[in-house]
Chains A and B, each alone.
Chain A
Amino acid sequence: GQQVMQIPQYQHVQEGEDFTTYCNSSTTLSNIQWYKQRPGGHPVFLIQLVKSGEVKKQKRLTFQFGEAKKNSSLHITATQTTDVGTYFCAGRGAAGNKLTFGGGTRVLVKP
């Protein structure tokens, strides 16, 4: 079945620095979503990418969907303490009915 892998599993970032987390699917995706889960909280939908090569920005967050629609990335610039949490990507396969979540990247920010 479809598998979605995220790297790194953990990311320690100095406040003010940039970092990127990556998401890779074993199969071609119809679209990919990103979620953020604060410690002790529940996942919250951030964005969806649909088109090959698509890039979307939300303030300091930049999301990219790969040309082959098998990978995606999330880049955060000037990391703040409010960015702490786990970021999940979730891919929807060609059949289009269910999302498969990656294992998440847990982000810890050092002030």
Chain B
Amino acid sequence: DAGITQSPRHKVTETGTPVTLRCHQTENHRYMYWYRQDPGHGLRLIHYSYGVKDTDKGEVSDGYSVSRSKTEDFLLTLESATSSQTSVYFCAISESQGANYGYTFGSGTRLTVV
């Protein structure tokens, strides 16, 4: 979907280094989410944002932090990467939390921690 882009698409990093993933949207949607996808676990919510500087934790937030200084950008930071954080990371956006609003997902970032 053209309205949401993630960068980088692929990254290999070493254990213990900080890593920042970027999600950029052009839809002016209020809600933004970070998920990780691992085999057998589906999509698990890391953090989400319901507005500029308004963020909250998801179910697997340990070791991750986020920032949203502008409506269009939502950054996910792995403070000190570990091998257990090797995963595919998806950003999603939503106009509203109400009925009939599905999430639009980005193309994902494949992160490998060695």
Binding site for B on A (CB under 8 A): 1, 6, 9, 31, 33, 35, 41-48, 50, 88, 90, 92, 96-104
Going nearest first, the 10 A-B pairs with the smallest beta carbon separation are A45-B102, A103-B42, A101-B43, A42-B105, A101-B42, A43-B105, A104-B42, A50-B99, A42-B107, A42-B108
How many whole Å from A43's CB to the nearest CB in chain B?
Answer: 5
Would you call B90 and A98 a contact (CB within 8 A)? no
What's the count of A-B pairs with C-beta under 8 Å?
54
Which chain B residues lie closer than 8 Å to A97 at the CB level? 97
Which residue of A6, A43, A50, A90 is within 8 Å of B90 (Cβ)? A43
Which residue of A44, A45, A98, A104 is within 8 Å of B45 (Cβ)? A98
Compute how far the CA of A99 lies from the CA of B99 in the bound complex, rounded to whole angstroms.
Answer: 12
Would you call B108 and A98 a contact (CB within 8 A)? no
Which chain B residues lie closer than 8 Å to A102 at the CB level? 42
User: Which of A33, A42, A102, A103 has the largest count of B CB atoms less than 10 A from its CB?
Assistant: A42
Indicate whether B100 reaches chain A with its CB closer than 8 angstroms: yes
Compute how far the CA of A103 lies from the CA of B40 in the bound complex, rounded to whole angstroms.
Answer: 6
How many whole Å from A14's CB to the nearest CB in chain B?
Answer: 25
How many whole Å from B49's CB to the nearest CB in chain A?
Answer: 12
Chain B: which residue is nearest A31 at the CB level? B99
Which chain B residues lie closer than 8 Å to A1 at the CB level? 59
Compute how far the CA of A88 lies from the CA of B42 in the bound complex, rounded to whole angstroms.
Answer: 8
Compute how far the CA of A49 lies from the CA of B108 in the bound complex, rounded to whole angstroms.
Answer: 26
Compute how far the CA of A98 lies from the CA of B44 in the bound complex, rounded to whole angstroms.
Answer: 11
Indicate whether B34 reaches chain A with its CB closer than 8 angstroms: no
Would you call A45 and B41 a contact (CB within 8 A)? no
